[in-house]
Structure 1
Amino acid sequence: MLISADTDHVHAAVGEEAIIEAASLTKVYKLYKRAVDRLKEALNPFNKRYHEDFYALRDVSFKAIKGRTVGIIGKNGAGKSTLLQILTGVLTPTSGVLTKSGRLSALLELGAGFNPELTGIENIYFNGTIMGYSRTEIDERLGEIIAFADIGEFIHQPVKTYSSGMFVRLAFAVSVSVEPDILIIDEALSVGDIRFQIKCFRKITDFKNSGKCIILVSHDIGAIKRLCDSVIWLRDGQVYLNGDPEYVCKEYMSYMFYDGSSTENKYALAPEPTASGGVIEWEDVRGYASFGEGGAEILRVVMLSCETSRRLNVLKGGERVKFIVEADINSDIVSPGCGITLKDNYGTYMFTINNYIYNVQIEPFTDTLRLHVEFDFHFPHLKSGNYSFSVSISDGTVESHIQNHWIHEAYVIQLINSDIKYNMGCYLILENVDITVNTGKR
């Protein structure tokens, strides 16, 4: 490391069937300061108003398509649960129109749809009956449900004795095993253990591939980006953004951390000659999705081959590379941190390089400096695919710091390798592995 001084575009295309269509859904609650005000308003002969209107939802419109997964994100109180309760029929909207087709199954907050006094087996039949299945149809699915839930003998015990993890296992098993046309999941999977979560995500993927529709509400942005075809960001009961998961999630994270969003491109940067007589083809990143306190502004980045000094956007892995960042320092930074992070196209973090974790001390930055940072490293052997670098400049320590400027997906690369061991589904191939095999008579 060398340091020197319109997103709402997701609609049903021709031939695609909208299985859910919401038009201007609005839900209004009357809020009274005192309990007696409700009675006074009801009895007042002049219709005097004693309440204030609270809009849990306001003019929410969207479409969900067969075979697609729609993610819904937003901070607590944004209206996510209200929307799901309307979709499932638990609540009636104050105004607006909701059209659904097909059988719907929902995995909402823990306890919804289950009788705590009944056993797990009895609740399976109870839920199946509510969803319109005959006892014979439930009998046919019972073994599959019990196997997926995998809670052992507790399946014969009252649900009120279950842990939250056991409860969500049974609830999810029932929800997916009844083969609904629409599956709604509201954050409940965060309760299960990691092994069960992986099992559920695999089931969700199979469910989606079979042409079903999924509505997924989660604070797990990685899961939202990995599983969803479109994302709705609810903000104060309204649709703030609706569109591509990558874009919507980046804007949402910027808002949640710093109440900011991407900046606008201001001016172009000219190419720069290299020592070998070539030209550095910089990536001008101003205007890319970003957030930060403004103590620095990242201007341009590039990754060069250490062998040829040429820009790299396609690699096979194993090359010695140099990733360069240039930025303007706009205010004093006492404990500078400069870093890059590589993610795959699902948002999974591959690796991070910064001076904090590699114990490289940097002298404080002062206002008006132009910063030039070089990260020199061997690019690892990774699974073939598309990857992107995010770039950051911070102030503090690895445990506690503020971001002066973070740019999402500042630099995109592609890994291509014909070697079969790099294309078998593994992200990372280990080096210097010994395999010993011994055989003998049985």
Structure 2
Amino acid sequence: MSEDWAIKIEHLSKVYKIFDKPMDRVKEALNPFRKRYSRDFYALNDVSLTIKKGETVGIIGKNGAGKSTILKIITGVLTPTSGSVQVNGRIASLLELGAGFNPEMTGVENIYMNGTIMGYSKEEMDERLQDIVDFADIGDFIHQPVKMYSSGMFARLAFAVNASLEPDVLIVDEALSVGDFMFQFKCMQRFKELQKKGVTVLYVTHNTQEVISTCDRAIFFHEGCLQFESSDVEYVVYKYAKCVRDLGEQDEPNESNNDVVLTNADVNENRFGSSEAIIKDIVFDSPNGMLEAGKLVNGKIIIEAKKNIDSIVFGFSVKNKNGDVIWGDNTTRIKGDIKLKEGENVIAFSTAINIVPGEYLLYAGIADISGANRIELDQRWPMKKLKVFSQKNVPEGMVYAPVSFFVE
């Protein structure tokens, strides 16, 4: 019986020597007593990980966290300092624009070269060539040397080649962030096709929304270490956001505060912030908490502050069951500062509910922007459920915008 894993990583480390001065490299190499003039930098530090067949895994982390390094080791571009990597199946990768292309060869010649590297015969590549050319859609440039290509053309051809050859494992490192809207749309559609066919996908991106909406599992790297991983993708993104905003565990809301329930188990809420001000509730002026699609609704944001705060920003967003952001807004467009006084504060708002009927999750957050650095006060991910209904039949889509038709 075949193994159910696609990638197996055990105790993987990648260490670079850092020298303060160029001459120190020579001194260390020639020193008879092996005196060190360098210090070790761990791009990866003792990482162990197993990726199952058919999983789509998002890898997130700050710049320098080790994301690209681990992908380059998996694909054989880099050699690890210690540890091992096993790949079960044929692998294709989009690590960086132009990687794997010979700049002097034409697009067609590079297609055949990449196919050969992946183990395809010329006859098999002949059958796939037109599909690849059509997907790349770069016109006559397909017959020109790739050194003449723009970054968008590189991305088109690279994705077309690697996705059309249907590998067992596809690795993508930020390569899809270039290109126009239609190219990105085609890529996401092909992504979904590959997922349905059981292709294992490793996807590095800074777009956490894409990770939430497309990935089965998320992995958070920080300073070369595997910090956190889970199939609860949204929770991994929450942990990453705390790191990006330089918030430690001490920034969690104080559990001794009896004025507010810190987590809402009904929606599996994740919550963080300094708790110097907290969102007690967001209430809508609607019967039974039901919001009617297409209607204007009024509401109030109730905030409890422990001290006076000179300027805050409040924002919220609405997500569907797939984790897609349907709509969101914040107070940055308001002229002047929104101040909080110690005690209870109320911010009124009104909005049109132009989303289709269904159940949604409401996310909300406030931050102190009085000083040079933004301080997160209270982030509630998600805060509560929203239910939207309509008295009319609703067409497909996410936006509620009924059309009136007139026959002339």
Paired residue secondary structure (2:339): coil
Equivalence for 1:263: 252
Equivalence for 1:246: 234
Range with bigger deviation, 115-124 or 318-327: 318-327
Question: Is the 2:57–2:202 contact (alpha carbons within 8 Å) kept by the matching residues of 1?
Answer: yes
Q: 2:137 aligns with which of 133, 136, 150?
A: 150
AA in 2 matched with 1:289: N
AA in 2 matched with 1:253: A
| Correspondence list, 1:278-357, <5 A | 285=263, 288-292=269-273, 295-298=276-279, 300-301=280-281, 303=283, 306-307=286-287, 310=288, 312=289, 317=293, 323-352=299-328, 357=333
Equivalence for 2:404: 434
Tell me, yes or no, if structure 1 residue 115 matches structure 2 residue 90.
no
Paired residue secondary structure (1:334): strand
Range with bigger deviation, 246-255 or 328-337: 328-337
Range with bigger deviation, 151-160 or 60-69: 60-69
Structure 1 gap segments, 5+ residues each: 1-14, 271-281
Question: Is the 1:120–1:158 contact (alpha carbons within 8 Å) kept by the matching residues of 2?
Answer: yes
AA in 2 matched with 1:66: K
Question: Is the 1:337–1:396 contact (alpha carbons within 8 Å) kept by the matching residues of 2?
Answer: yes
Question: Is the 1:293–1:405 contact (alpha carbons within 8 Å) kept by the matching residues of 2?
Answer: yes
Q: 2:339 aligns with which of 364, 380, 397?
A: 364
Structure 2 gap segments, 5+ residues each: none
Question: Is the 2:255–2:262 contact (alpha carbons within 8 Å) kept by the matching residues of 1?
Answer: no
Paired residue secondary structure (1:421): coil
Give, in angstroms, the shift of residue 326 of structure 1: 3.0
AA in 1 matched with 2:100: G
The separation in 1 between residues aligned to 2:25 and 2:331, in whole angstroms, is 61
Paired residue secondary structure (1:259): coil
Tell me, yes or no, if structure 1 residue 212 matches structure 2 residue 205.
no
Equivalence for 1:411: 384
The separation in 1 between residues aligned to 2:10 and 2:338, in whole angstroms, is 56
Note the alpha carbon deviations across 1:8-41, whole angstroms, 9 max, x for none: xxxxxxx981111111111112223344444443
Question: Is the 2:57–2:215 contact (alpha carbons within 8 Å) kept by the matching residues of 1?
Answer: yes
Paired residue secondary structure (1:145): helix
The separation in 2 between residues aligned to 1:48 and 1:362, in whole angstroms, is 59
Alpha carbons of structure 1 residues 122 and 360: separation in structure 2 relative to 1, 3 Å = closer
Give, in angstroms, the shift of residue 341 of structure 1: 2.5
Tell me, yes or no, if structure 1 residue 390 matches structure 2 residue 363.
yes
Question: Is the 2:262–2:271 contact (alpha carbons within 8 Å) kept by the matching residues of 1?
Answer: no
Q: 1:178 aligns with which of 144, 165, 168?
A: 165
Give, in angstroms, the shift of residue 137 of structure 1: 1.0
The separation in 2 between residues aligned to 1:17 and 1:417, in whole angstroms, is 46
The separation in 2 between residues aligned to 1:247 and 1:153, in whole angstroms, is 46
Question: Is the 2:52–2:200 contact (alpha carbons within 8 Å) kept by the matching residues of 1?
Answer: yes
Question: Is the 2:254–2:275 contact (alpha carbons within 8 Å) kept by the matching residues of 1?
Answer: no
Paired residue secondary structure (2:156): helix
The separation in 2 between residues aligned to 1:40 and 1:416, in whole angstroms, is 74
| Correspondence list, 1:53-132, <5 A | 53-132=40-119
Question: Is the 1:254–1:290 contact (alpha carbons within 8 Å) kept by the matching residues of 2?
Answer: no
Question: Is the 2:171–2:202 contact (alpha carbons within 8 Å) kept by the matching residues of 1?
Answer: yes
The separation in 2 between residues aligned to 1:55 and 1:353, in whole angstroms, is 40
Question: Is the 2:293–2:357 contact (alpha carbons within 8 Å) kept by the matching residues of 1?
Answer: no
Paired residue secondary structure (1:233): strand
Give, in angstroms, the shift of residue 268 of structure 1: 7.3
Question: Is the 1:119–1:159 contact (alpha carbons within 8 Å) kept by the matching residues of 2?
Answer: yes
RMSD: 3.1
Paired residue secondary structure (1:364): strand
Alpha carbons of structure 1 residues 267 and 205: separation in structure 2 relative to 1, 3 Å = same
Alpha carbons of structure 1 residues 94 and 356: separation in structure 2 relative to 1, 3 Å = closer
The separation in 2 between residues aligned to 1:392 and 1:206, in whole angstroms, is 36
Give, in angstroms, the shift of residue 402 of structure 1: 6.3
Alpha carbons of structure 1 residues 157 and 389: separation in structure 2 relative to 1, 3 Å = same
Give, in angstroms, the shift of residue 333 of structure 1: 2.6
AA in 1 matched with 2:360: Y
The separation in 1 between residues aligned to 2:199 and 2:91, in whole angstroms, is 10
Which has the larger Rg?
1
AA in 2 matched with 1:429: Y
Aligned length: 400
- Identity fraction in percent: 41
Equivalence for 1:278: none
Equivalence for 1:7: none
